[in-house]
Structure 1
Amino acid sequence: MTVTCNGRPAQVGDLLPALVNYGHFTSLQVRGYAVQGLDLHLARLSQATRELFGSTLDAAQVQVWMAQALQQAGQGDASLRVTVYSRHFDFRDPLAPVPVDVLVAVSAPVTLVAPKRVRSVIWQRELPQIKHVGTFGLFAQRRAALAEGFDDALFVNAAGEISEGTTWNLALHDGQQLIWPQAPALRGTAEALLQAHWPGPQVVRPVALAELGGMHAALACNASGIWALEAIDAHPLAGSAELAVQGRAVLAGVPWQALS
């Protein structure tokens, strides 16, 4: 893995302020120096910067740094994590205006396709609309699910409504249409691209966990891929493999946006 800060190789002094654990990020896959939904990733970073720091992010400059990081690493195919934080942020005075900094980490490309069995858990991320760096709870819930023999965890809010997975969104199918859960969650780029290009009927609405009996398929998605949810708790979803194949076919038709 290589890491740059504001377009230059990151030094220890650049990384230490990240230990404050206040910032946000986006993760994306690059193929041939291009990205699907690049505009969505940059919009996510810009919106979260306004919300967490009250400042404006130069998205065009961030895109340049992303391309430079890939070139410096010599990787046209890669996984990128772009993190926005501030070396000058002081948790004792969080309203003080500060310039933001951008870390770009380049690592090997990833494609997720293996089906999973997940268990539901009543849990809600803090500020779910922001992809913030406070990921402790997500990974703790995934670890707990693995310890119980599942592959991952699916979050359900206090009202019993399905929201999202630990690091992914999901859609269910009732045999008539694709259904996207509406409960507060981090709205992903893959989710947005699938919604924009899905050829069949679909709806966004609250989905109660108790409705699983009427569902026959579910897919999970994030920037790293689309995979089938074979079962949620003890409820099998026999049509999930076929639904995931359809989802991957839809995403394969989405244009890639060049970084440079």
Structure 2
Amino acid sequence: MMLTCNGQPAQVEDLLPALVNYGHFTSLQVRGGAVQGLDLHLARLSQATRELFGSELDTAQVRGWMAQALQRAGLADASLRVTVFSRHFDFRDPLARVAVDVLVAVSAPVSLSAPRRVRSVTWQRELPQIKHVGTFGLFAQRRAAMADGFDDALFVDTQGHVSEGTTWNVAVHDGHQLIWPRAAALRGTAEALLRAHWNGPQVCRPLPAGALHGVQAAFACNASGLWALQSIDGRALAGSLALAEQGRAVLAGVPWQPLS
């Protein structure tokens, strides 16, 4: 992995403020120097910077730093994580106006596609609309699910509605249409692209956890791929593999935006 901070090789002193655990990020896949939904990733970073720091992010500069980091790593295909934090943030005075810093991590490309068995659990992230760096609960819930023989966890909010997975969005099919659960969650870039390009009936509506018993197929998605949900709470979903293939075909037709 290679790290840069504000376009320069990251030094130890650059990284120490990240231990405060206040910031946000986006993760994306690069192929041939291009990204699907690049504008969505940059918009996510911009909006979260306003919410967490009360300032504007120069997304053109961030895009340039991303391209520069790839070039320095000598890669055209890669995984990128772009984290926005501030070396000057003081938790004792969180309203103070501070300049933000941008950390770009470059690593090997990944593509997730293996089917998974998930269980539902009542849990919700803090500030679910922001892809913030507070990921402890996500991974603790995944670990607990795996300890009980599942592959991952599907979250249900306190009102009993399905929201999202640990690090992914979910869509289910009831035999008539694709359903995107409407609940407080991080709305991902892959979800946005699929909803914009899906060829068939779809709807975004509240999905009570009890309605999962009528689901015939489901898939999970994030910027690293799309995979079938083989079962939910031990109930096999026979149509998930075909639905996931349909989803991947949709994403295959989405254009890639060059970083530079």
Moved over 3 A (4+): none
CA deviation after TM superposition for structure 1 residue 234, in Å: 2.3
CA distance in 2, matches of 1:50, 1:235: 42
CA distance in 2, matches of 1:135, 1:215: 29
Letter of the 1:12 counterpart: V
Deviations 1:124-148 (A, max 9, x none): 0000000000000000000000000
Question: Secondary structure of 1:93's match?
Answer: coil
Q: Structure 2 length as normaliser, TM-score?
A: 1.00
CA distance in 2, matches of 1:179, 1:112: 22
Question: Secondary structure of 1:4's match?
Answer: strand
Partner of 2:16: 16
Q: CA RMSD in A?
A: 0.4
Partner of 1:175: 175
CA distance in 2, matches of 1:251, 1:220: 13
Deviations 1:28-87 (A, max 9, x none): 000000000000000000000000000000000000000000000001100000000000
Partner of 1:227: 227
Partner of 1:189: 189
Contact 1:30 1:77 in 2 (8 A): yes
Question: Secondary structure of 1:80's match?
Answer: strand
Q: Structure 1 length as normaliser, TM-score?
A: 1.00
CA distance in 1, matches of 2:217, 2:41: 28
CA distance in 2, matches of 1:223, 1:187: 11
CA distance in 1, matches of 2:223, 2:81: 11
CA distance in 2, matches of 1:158, 1:48: 25
CA distance in 2, matches of 1:67, 1:78: 11
CA deviation after TM superposition for structure 1 residue 159, in Å: 1.2
CA deviation after TM superposition for structure 1 residue 207, in Å: 0.2
Contact 1:181 1:204 in 2 (8 A): yes
Matched positions, count: 260
Deviations 1:162-221 (A, max 9, x none): 000000001000011000000100000000000000000000000011001211000100
Letter of the 2:221 counterpart: C
List alignment gaps of at least 5 residues for structure 2.
none
Question: Secondary structure of 1:16's match?
Answer: helix
CA distance in 2, matches of 1:89, 1:213: 47
